[in-house]
Amino acid sequence: MKSLLKYLVRKPSENFHPVLRIILIFLPVALLICSGAYFYYLSQLRFIHEQNQKLEHETVLVGVVSINRSLEYVMQDVHILYLDTDFRRMINDPDEKNIDEVAGDWLAFAEAKKVYNKIRWIDEKGMERLRVNYSDGKGVVVPEKKLQNRSERYFFDDTNVLKEGEVYVSPLDLNIEDDHIQEPYVPTIRFGMPLFNKKGEKKGILLLNYYATSMIGRFQQLTSMRGNSAWLVNQNGFWLKGPVSNDEFGFMFNKNDLSMAHRYPAAWERMKNQEEGQFITREGLWTFKTLSPLSADTKTSKGSSEIFSGGQGPRDVSAYKWKVITLLPLGAYNADLFYWGTKVIGISIALMALFFLAILFMVRLQEIRNQLLVNLEKLVEIRTDDLNKVNVVLTQSEARLKSVFENIPDLVWMKNSAGVYLACNQAYKDYVGLSDEHIIGKTDFDIFSHDEAELFEEQDKRILKEGKPLVIEQWGTYALSGNRVFFDVIKAPVRTPDGELVGVLGIGRDITRRKEDEEKLELAALVYRNSSEAILISNADNHILAVNPAFEKITGYTAAEVIGRDPKLLSSGRQDKAFYKAMWDALDEKGYWRGELWNRRKNGESYASWLTINVVYNEDRSVRYYVELSNDFTEKKEAEDMIWRQANFDFLTNLPNRRMLMDRMKQELVKVNQSGKKLALLFLDLDNFKDINDTLGHDAGDHLLLDVAKRLKDCVREFDTVSRLGGDEFAIILTELSDLPTMEKIAHSILRSLAQPYQLGSEIAYVTGSIGITVYPDDGTDIDTLMRNADQALYAAKLAGRNRMSYFTASMQAAAQNRIRLANDMRIAINEHQFEMLYQPIVEIETGRIQKAEALIRWHHPVRGIISPTEFIFIAEETGQILTISDWAFGEVARELSRWREHLFPDLQISFNISPIVFQNKNDYSDWFEVLEKLNVPGSSIVMEITEGVLIVSNTQVLDRLAEFHQYGMEVALDDFGTGYSSLSYLKKFPIDYLKIDQAFVRHIENEPKDMALCEAIIVMAHKLDMKVIAEGVQDDGQRLLLAGAGCNYGQGYLFSEPLTAAEFEKLLESNRLER
As to burial, measured by CB atoms within 10 angstroms (0-12 exposed, 13-18 middle, 19+ buried), residue 98 is middle
Has residue 633 got a pLDDT over 80?
Answer: no
* Residue 385 pLDDT grade (very low, low, confident, very high; cuts 50, 70, 90): low
Cβ-contact 665, 783 below 8 angstroms: yes
Nearest-angstrom CA–CA distance, 449 and 976: 112
Say if residue 205 is in the same domain as residue 274.
yes
Same domain? For 969 and 1052 the reply is: yes
Tell me the CATH number at 967. Answer: 3.20.20.450
Q: Considering the domain boundaries, does residue 41 fall inside one?
A: no
Complete DSSP assignment for 893-942: HHHHHHHHHHHT-TT-EEEEE--HHHHHH----HHHHHHHHHTT--GGGE
Is there a domain that residue 368 lies in? no
Confidence band, pLDDT 50/70/90 cuts, at residue 5: very low
- What counts of helices (H) and strands (E) characterise the chain? 35, 42
Q: What is the pLDDT of residue 802?
A: 82
- 107 and 156 part of one domain: yes
Top pLDDT among 643 and 1061 is at 1061
Give the whole-angstrom CA distance, residue 968 versus residue 931: 13
- Say yes or no: 515 and 586 in one domain: no
Burial (CB count within 10 angstroms: exposed 0-12, middle 13-18, buried 19+), residue 74: buried
Of the candidate ranges 523-527, 617-621, 741-745, the one whose mean pLDDT is the lowest: 523-527
Higher pLDDT, residue 76 or 910? 910
Give one DSSP letter per residue of 433-476, joined into a string.
Answer: T--GGGTTT--HHHHS-HHHHHHHHHHHHHHHHH-S-EEEEEEE
Q: Which residue, 499, 530, 561, sits at the end of a domain?
A: 530
Radius of gyration of the chain measured on its C-alpha atoms: 52
**Residues 610 and 727 reside in one and the same domain:** no
Contact by Cβ (8 Å): 661, 679? no
Give the model confidence (pLDDT) of 553-567 as tens digits: 889 999 899 999 999
Closest CA to 966 of 950, 990, 986: 990
Model pLDDT for residues 114-156, shown as the tens digit of each residue: 989 899 999 999 999 999 999 888 999 999 999 999 998 888 9
**Which H helix or E strand runs over 805?**
strand 805-807
Q: Which of 372-381, 641-650, 772-781, 1057-1066 has the lowest mean pLDDT?
A: 372-381
pLDDT of residue 362: 75
- Cα separation, 643 vs 646, in Å, equals 5
Is the residue at 360 inside a domain? no
Does the pLDDT at position 1048 exceed 90?
A: yes
Residue 128 and residue 143: Cα distance in Å, rounded?
A: 11
Q: What is the pTM of this model?
A: 0.39
* Structural domain includes residue 506: yes
Return all residues near 513 (Cβ < 8 A) that are at least 6 apart.
Answer: 335, 336
**CATH number, position 118:** 3.30.450.20
Confidence of residue 300 (pLDDT cuts 50, 70, 90): very low
- Are residue 492 and residue 545 in the same domain, yes or no? no
Report the alpha-carbon distance of residue 754 to residue 722 in Å, rounded: 14
Q: Looking at the domain assignment, is residue 824 inside a domain? A: no
* DSSP 8-state assignment for residue 13: T
The predicted structure's pLDDT at residue 690: 83
How many domains are contained in the chain?
5
pLDDT, position 129: 95
Express each pLDDT in 825-839 by its tens digit.
999 988 899 999 999
Comparing 402 with 621, which gets the higher pLDDT? 621
**Confidence at residue 985, expressed as pLDDT on a 0 to 100 scale:** 67
Structural domain of residue 511, as residue ranges?
410-530
Looking at residue 400, its pLDDT comes to 60
Dihedral angle over CA of 24, 25, 30, 31, nearest 10: 50
Q: Burial code of 1026-1061, b = ≥16 C-beta within 10 A, e = fewer?
A: ebbbbbbbbeeeebbebbbebebbbbbbebbbebbe
Q: What is the pLDDT of residue 572?
A: 86
At residue 694, the pLDDT reads 78
Instruction: Identify whether residues 947 and 1031 lie together within a single domain.
Output: yes
For residue 186, how many C-alpha atoms fall within 13 Å in the half-sphere facing its CB?
Answer: 20
Higher per-residue pLDDT: 1058 or 816? 1058
pLDDT tens digits, 583-599: 999 999 999 999 888 88
Residues 546 and 479 in one domain: no
The answer as to whether 23 is a domain residue is no
Rounded Cα distance between 92 and 478, Å, is 76
Mean pLDDT along residues 884-905 = 94
Confidence of residue 301 (pLDDT cuts 50, 70, 90): very low
- The residue among 1073 and 387 whose pLDDT is bigger is 1073
Of the given ranges (89-98, 187-196, 291-300, 449-458), which has the lowest mean pLDDT? 291-300
Span 6-30, pLDDT tens digits: 544 454 444 567 777 777 777 887 7
Q: How confident is the model at residue 795 (pLDDT cuts 50, 70, 90)?
A: confident
- Which CATH number goes with the domain that contains 661? 3.30.70.270
* pLDDT value of position 888: 96
Of 59, 388, 74, whose CA–CA distance to 212 is shortest? 74
Q: What is the pLDDT of residues 33-44, one digit of tens each?
A: 787 777 777 777
Q: Please check whether residues 597 and 572 belong to one and the same domain.
A: yes
In this structure, are residues 467 and 441 in contact, taking their beta carbons and an 8 Å threshold? Answer: no
Last residue of a domain, one of 333, 355, 370: 333
Instruction: Report the percent of the chain where pLDDT is more than 90.
Output: 39
Quick: pLDDT tens for 456-471. 899 999 988 888 898 8
Q: How confident is the model at residue 401 (pLDDT cuts 50, 70, 90)?
A: low
Pairwise pLDDT comparison (895 vs 879), residue with the higher score:
895
d(CA 596, CA 302): 18
State how far the Cα of 848 lies from the Cα of 819, in Å rounded to an integer: 40
Residue 314: which pLDDT band, with cuts at 50, 70 and 90? very low
If asked whether residues 229 and 278 sit together in one domain, one would say yes
Across 239-253, 267-281, 404-418, 507-521, least confident range: 507-521
Distances in whole angstroms, Cα of residue 720 to Cα of each of 103, 672, 777: 35, 13, 17
pLDDT band at 634 (very low <50, low <70, confident <90, very high): confident
Cβ-count burial of 29 within 10 angstroms (0-12 exposed, 13-18 middle, 19+ buried)? Answer: middle
Same-domain check for residues 100 and 228: yes
Q: What is the DSSP letter of 1053?
A: S
Residue 374 — very low, low, confident or very high, per pLDDT cuts 50/70/90? low
Domain membership of residue 39 (yes or no) is no
**Which range scores top for mean pLDDT: 241-250, 442-451, 735-744, 1029-1038?**
1029-1038
pLDDT band at 391 (very low <50, low <70, confident <90, very high): low
Cα(1007)–Cα(684) distance, integer angstroms: 40
Residues near 61 by beta carbon (within 8 Å), at least 6 away in sequence: 289
pLDDT value of position 344: 73
Of 591, 616, 638, which residue is a domain's last?
Answer: 638
User: Is 26 part of a structural domain of the chain?
Assistant: no
What sections of 922-1008 are H helices per DSSP? 926-934, 956-967, 984-989, 999-1002
Q: Which amino acid is at 668?
A: E
Please report the pLDDT score of residue 757 as a whole number: 93
Residues 655 and 624 in one domain: no
**What's the pLDDT at 9?**
47
Residue 730 · residue 921 · CB < 8 Å:
no
pLDDT of 3 over the 60 cut: no
Confidence band for 638, pLDDT divided at 50, 70 and 90: confident
User: Region 276-291: what's the mean pLDDT?
Assistant: 92
